[in-house]
């Protein structure tokens, strides 16, 4: 049975004008002229046979019929908008849930999320920050970002960041007495270590870096240890010493100049490890996941262009 409805454009014009009580504001929202809004309202009044607005000298008011109809029409458009979101998500409603390590979430992802929300306000994002392996068949997780070699049997894995570790410090350590100019100057400064639960001991990383820099007279095990990147970077910002960090975790501080790389032409440790975007193959056609994945790689490229030395 055909639906007995007036033109959708006329209903949209009425809904917007009723919310704003202004043809001009409604026209700006719908990107048409005030005259077009007025014409659509007249069309709707012809269809209904009743007046919907009272045009006052410097104001617009709803008639009794308009007052009763406005919330119903607005609710109907809310339902249409919900249906559109479901269509765009390929039938998948609800938030897109992404699991990733806490350090990557706090130091890299969260500061950038505003750009994602501006581009995709229709996608509700849920961040699950943890280091455990996700069981996609048992958990309500759509995508994960995981640190490792990149081998994820039965799952689709794509490299996001390769591990690249470099020394950083407060600019004040590069000035004055015992200023950091060369790697050998580290003998006069504190080495700051990261020692997360389950992670490789950071003193091994310092040992590798010092060896690569040709330094063999500095104890790589000395200095304080912190179990999160946030604390590690806070210690470096406070001038407590020199930290070895993953470049993706310090790009904001490096870009602002709050942290600096004290040495030129020194090794940046590369390993066959990195962060990978991981998800089940049957999630690949989810438009929400596709949108978030595309944005992740854009942000990855933005970070590489800003912080990777020697590019």
Whether the per-residue pLDDT at 200 is higher than 60: the answer is no
Q: Which of 137-151, 200-214, 229-243 is predicted most confidently?
A: 229-243
pLDDT tens-digit profile of 151-193?
A: 888 999 999 988 788 899 999 999 988 899 999 999 999 999 9
- What angle in degrees, to the nearest 10, is found between the helix axes of 64-88 and 8-20? 110
Q: What is the rounded CA–CA span in Å between residue 81 and residue 120?
A: 14
Average of pLDDT values for 119-133? Answer: 90
Q: What is the rounded CA–CA span in Å between residue 298 and residue 173?
A: 34
Confidence of residue 92 (pLDDT cuts 50, 70, 90): low
Q: What is the rounded CA–CA span in Å between residue 269 and residue 165?
A: 5
- Cβ neighbours for 43, distance < 8 A, ≥ 6 positions apart: 6, 7, 10
Residue 228 burial (C-beta neighbours within 10 Å; 0-12, 13-18, 19+): middle
Average of pLDDT values for 253-257? Answer: 90
Average of pLDDT values for 184-212? Answer: 77
What is the pTM assigned to this prediction?
A: 0.60
Tally of helices (H runs) and strands (E runs) in the chain: 10, 10
Identify which of 66, 258, 311, 274 has the alpha carbon closest to the alpha carbon of residue 164. Answer: 274
Q: Give CA separation, 33 vs 11, 28, 41, 180, in Å.
A: 16, 8, 13, 64
Average of pLDDT values for 270-274? Answer: 74
Confidence of residue 309 (pLDDT cuts 50, 70, 90): very low
Confidence of residue 199 (pLDDT cuts 50, 70, 90): very low
- Cβ neighbours for 30, distance < 8 A, ≥ 6 positions apart: 12, 13, 16, 37
What mean pLDDT, rounded, does the chain reach? Answer: 86
CA angle 263, 299, 258 (to 5 degrees): 35
What whole-number percentage of the chain has pLDDT above 70? Answer: 91
Q: In this predicted structure, what is the pLDDT of residue 223?
A: 92
Identify which of 131, 124, 142 has the alpha carbon closest to the alpha carbon of residue 100. Answer: 131
Q: What is the rounded CA–CA span in Å between residue 12 and residue 26?
A: 9
pLDDT tens-digit profile of 112-122?
A: 999 999 999 98
Q: Do strands 242-246 and 191-194 pair parallel, antiparallel, or not at all (unpaired)?
A: parallel
- Sheet containing 225-226: give its strands across: 125-129, 96-100, 143-148, 269-279, 156-168, 242-246, 191-194, 225-226
Q: In this predicted structure, what is the pLDDT of residue 133?
A: 84
CA angle 280, 119, 96 (to 5 degrees): 30
């Amino acid at each position: 049975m055909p639906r007995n409805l007036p033109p959708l454009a006329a209903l949209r014009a009425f809904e917007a004008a009723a919310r704003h009580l202004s043809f001009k504001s409604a026209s700006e929202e719908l990107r048409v002229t005030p005259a077009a809004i007025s014409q659509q309202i007249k069309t709707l009044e012809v269809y209904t046979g009743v007046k919907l607005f009272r045009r006052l000298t410097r104001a617009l008011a709803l008639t009794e019929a308009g007052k009763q109809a406005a919330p119903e029409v607005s609710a109907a458009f809310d339902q249409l908008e919900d249906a559109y979101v479901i269509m765009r998500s390929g039938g998948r409603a609800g938030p897109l849930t992404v699991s990733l390590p806490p350090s990557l979430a706090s130091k890299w992802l969260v500061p950038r999320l505003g750009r994602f929300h501006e581009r995709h306000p229709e996608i509700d994002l849920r961040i699950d920050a943890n280091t455990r392996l996700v069981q996609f068949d048992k958990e309500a997780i759509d995508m994960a970002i995981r640190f490792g070699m990149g081998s994820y049997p039965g799952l689709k894995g794509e490299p996001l960041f390769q591990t690249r570790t470099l020394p950083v410090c407060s600019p004040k350590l590069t000035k004055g007495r015992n200023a950091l100019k060369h790697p050998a100057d580290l003998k006069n400064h504190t080495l700051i270590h990261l020692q997360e639960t389950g992670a490789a001991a950071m003193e091994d990383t310092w040992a590798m870096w010092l060896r690569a820099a040709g330094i063999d007279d500095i104890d790589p095990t000395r200095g304080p240890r912190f179990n999160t990147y946030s604390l590690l970077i806070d210690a470096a910002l406070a001038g407590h010493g020199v930290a070895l960090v993953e470049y993706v975790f310090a790009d904001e501080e490096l870009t602002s100049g709050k942290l600096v790389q004290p040495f030129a032409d020194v090794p940046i440790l590369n390993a066959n490890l990195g962060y990978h975007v991981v998800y089940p193959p049957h999630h690949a056609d989810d438009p929400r996941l596709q949108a978030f994945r595309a944005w992740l790689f854009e942000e990855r490229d933005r970070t590489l262009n800003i912080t990777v030395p020697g590019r």
